[in-house]
Amino acid sequence: MFFNSVIFFVFLSVIFSVFSFAKSRLSQNLVLLLGSYIFYGFWDWRFLFLIFFVSSMDFFISTSIEKSTVKARQKSLLILSIAVNLLILGTFKYFNFFTHNFINLLSSIGFKTNYSVIKIILPVGISFFTFQSMSHTIDVYKGTAKAPKNILDYLLFVSFFPQLVAGPIMRSRDLLPQIENLKTPKPSDLYFGLQIILWGLFKKVAVADNLSVYVDAVYSNSSMMSSSSLILATYLFAIQIYCDFSGYSDMAVGIGRIFGIKLDWNFNTPYFSQSFNEFWKRWHITLSSWFRDYIYIPLGGSRVALSRHLLNLTITFLISGLWHGAAWNYIFWGFLHSIYLILENLISRLIKSDRKIASIPHRVAKIFIVFNLTTLAWIFFRSQSMSQSFSIIRGIASFKGSILIDNILWISTIPLLILIFIELLKFPLQTDDFFKKISPFTHFLIMSTLTLTILLFGADSGAQFIYFKF
């Protein structure tokens, strides 16, 4: 059930209608919990048992940790939660990857194997809900969050459908109190939420889905493409993945708001970053902060010797790459970003600069460098394998052939120009009073333009969001 499908909006209308008639907090939470389980069961009902097991386990473990006064027992319970969550994630997401590579390793050293790899189905959103649930247990252990008193509240915290399958990854201290004190949403919540849903839908169907047609055509036949076509497709993929994922995240925020729940923003114009450190504070913000708080800082962060600091960066981004996909090209993508950050860190130690007094050309040059190196790394993210990634890079470096022009590029021009214009204005400003600062006519003009663009240029593909597969 994709956010950009008719059936989802029918589902959303039904759930919101029933939710609006619910009078008590308990009945509202039950409506949202039932709706969330219906939403997830629509993908594959068998995995409802998995999400229920993860949620129930971490609820009872976190409650036991909070009640216990014995540190050793608390630690044992924490280890149990982490171990089970990682075992579940590892089995479903990485079993095939590691088994396949182990068999290849044995074959390379002369051992013949007759074992075939079992094809395990990947539950949608497993990387997101296991991380969200696991972080709650860790926070309760650290004393930075409280265990919920009601298991229904916790089940909803893990399964809340707007952010269930692709984030944002919420911390329990931010989302659980809202669930525990759920109130009937105000008209301003509905008004704001619908606007953000429209903005996210525009990004997805008018920009990302149109660009995907060209990108898919080039990357699926990359060995036959000219250098200029490969370059153009790579730049367009950088825009596609941003609009696809941030479009989903914006819609999740908007959907959450119409139920009176504020979800975290996941993107903040990342391609205008002047450093890679800044980029990762603007791109997939909730995941980046998760890796920072639960992996990078526990490893020692930057408050260690330089060599250990650089190792911590490398480990964190290798894990980040593996989180995104069970393939070597994802791991290398993460490794490449660690190299960027290491070089940036070393250069910053040699060259002291004050960003406040940096000239406009200097800032533009830094944005240009960060964006282009980020786009280079996207080649490994988009490719199907390491060999295809390096093949595309060789194709780009060969400077052969003429550019492949497709009608879809002309169709995408107007949505792209609208996107760039609004992104330069940092729309939406991620505040409820944004539209209070502009005239009703300007507001109507923006909303009408987005709606008309979706109707005229929206790709009628019903394509799933890229991050659903993670």
Q: Which residues are catalytic?
A: 324
Question: Could you tell me which of 270, 272, 321 has the C-alpha nearest to residue 295?
Answer: 321
Residue partners of 413: CB distance under 8 A and separation at least 6: none
Task: Return the residue matching tokens 């004050």.
Answer: 354
What gap in Å lies between CA 215 and CA 123, rounded to an integer?
Answer: 26
The structure tokens listed for 124 are 């949608």
User: Please, are residues 135 and 171 in contact by the beta-carbon 8 Å criterion?
Assistant: yes
170 within 8 A of 145, measured Cβ to Cβ: no
Give SS3 for 180: helix
Output the CA torsion sign for 395, 398, 402, 407. positive
Indicate the burial class of 356 (C-beta count within 10 angstroms; 0-12, 13-18, 19 or more). exposed
CA dihedral over 388, 390, 393, 398, signed as positive or negative: negative
| CB 337 within 8 Å of CB 317 | yes
- Which helix or strand (DSSP H or E) is residue 434 part of? none
CA 123, 238, 363 angle in degrees (round to 5)?
Answer: 130
How many residues are there in the chain? 470
Residue closest to 101 by CA, chosen among 386, 324, 384, 327: 327
Distance CA 341, CA 347 (A): 10
d(CA 62, CA 77): 8
